Amino acid sequence: MSSPDRSTRPVVRAHDDVLGYLLKHAHFALEERTDAALAPFGITSRDLGALRVIAGGGARSQQDLAGVLGVDRTSMVALLDILERAGVLARRPSEQDRRRNVVELTDTGRELFFQAERAALTVEQDFTSALGANGASELRGALRAMLAATAH
Amino acid sequence: MSSPDRSTRPVVRAHDDVLGYLLKHAHFALEERTDAALAPFGITSRDLGALRVIAGGGARSQQDLAGVLGVDRTSMVALLDILERAGVLARRPSEQDRRRNVVELTDTGRELFFQAERAALTVEQDFTSALGANGASELRGALRAMLAATAH
DNA sequence: TATTGTTATACTCTATAACTATA
DNA sequence: TATAGTTATAGAGTATAACAATA
């Protein structure tokens, strides 16, 4: 009845109504905690992402790996340098195409990966504990659905 | 019976099982689309975030504003410089404390904000359209709940 | 002496271009 | 000629330190 403008033109949105804000800060908070949990292992959450792809056999070369991780191939070099120097992984030229580097985890690297992954998983579970039993998987499902629907 | 390891030590997770990956890419995709939709207005999604806080009256000084947005006060200067030069907002010394700058939207700035916000909202709605009627608000609720529970 | 806004500087991260070795 | 890895360089973004005005 009065103030029809209230419903026509909404008031300024609060921060936590803005999806971009929520996604950004949720990601930031989770990454912060994950990095803290991974610090004892001497790796970051980004390193763990690379190790996960390598461990899963999802990349046949450094360039593949860079593509999957969404980083430049030149950035990949330094990232692998550090992990190789730490004895976590090893590079060797591919036998099919000697221009390519096959990247593999060392034995200690594989062990490190599984321990670090377990630590990261614990952080995730703690992070989503407020969502209840099904909430976490529903959240993942929603995010997956959005990404799938908007993939160009 | 065979391969009990399969259930004890899970196989390497797929990318889209990792919450951090999902949050990061969802945020990135949304920001990309929002920035594209805001380009005709000459602002970015970060600018819009600042305009939203200013329009909502949620900051009493540049430092306040920087704090709310989670950026450094020195980074705030350049951001406001651009928007002020564009005639979107104006700075004036506070009457209570002349060290502080009160930041306010100009008339054209307020109009720009509402139009840009409407465009951003359309992008959000399109982005979450795969989630159905309640899905989007459930997603926001889940993200809000996580952030609230993990706020230190 | 402490604080706000500002500037100058340094540092990090990433992207671009050029080089090598292989194909 | 084209591609994979590497290196060197430059650019954007951000943080750190120092300065002027005000409290």
Query: How far off is chain B from A146, nearest CA to CA, in Å?
Result: 6
Burial class (CB in 10 A: 0-12, 13-18, 19+), B19: buried
Q: What is the pLDDT of residue A152?
A: 61
Whether residue B102 has pLDDT greater than 70: yes
Burial class (CB in 10 A: 0-12, 13-18, 19+), B151: exposed
Mean pLDDT of chain A: 92
Q: Is residue A14 part of a domain?
A: no
Q: Is residue A49 part of a domain?
A: yes
pTM of the model: 0.92
Q: Is residue B96 part of a domain?
A: yes
Q: Which of residues 45-84 of B touch strand C (CB under 7 A)?
A: 61-63, 73-74, 76-77, 80-81
- Neighboring chain B residues of A148 at a CB cutoff of 8 Å: 130
Q: Domain total for chain B? A: 1
**Model pLDDT for residues A77-115, shown as the tens digit of each residue:** 999 999 999 999 999 999 999 999 999 999 999 999 999
Whether residue B3 has pLDDT greater than 50: no
CATH number at residue B101: 1.10.10.10
Q: Identify whether the C-beta of residue A80 lies closer than 8 Å to the C-beta of residue A74.
A: no
**Can you tell me the distance from the alpha carbon of B124 to that of B117, in angstroms, rounded to the nearest whole number?**
10
* A4 residue type, one letter: P
Q: Identify whether the C-beta of residue B103 lies closer than 8 Å to the C-beta of residue B112.
A: no
- State both tokens at A91: 């590079």
**Can you tell me the distance from the alpha carbon of A100 to that of B109, in angstroms, rounded to the nearest whole number?**
54
Whether residue B5 has pLDDT greater than 90: no
Whether residue A150 has pLDDT greater than 60: yes
**Which nucleotide lies nearest residue A71, CA to C1'?**
C14
Q: Is residue A91 part of a domain?
A: yes
Residue B106 lies in domain:
18-150
Q: Is residue A26 part of a domain?
A: yes
**Taking Cα atoms as reference points, which of B47, B60, B48 lies closest to residue B91?**
B60
Per-residue pLDDT band for A1 (boundaries 50, 70, 90) equals: very low
Q: Is residue B13 part of a domain?
A: no
* End-to-end CA separation in angstroms for chain A: 45
Q: Is residue A138 part of a domain?
A: no
What letter does residue A5 receive in the DSSP assignment?
H
Q: Is residue A13 part of a domain?
A: no
A61 — alpha (psi -120 to 50), left (phi > 0) or beta? Answer: beta
Q: What is the pLDDT of residue B120?
A: 97
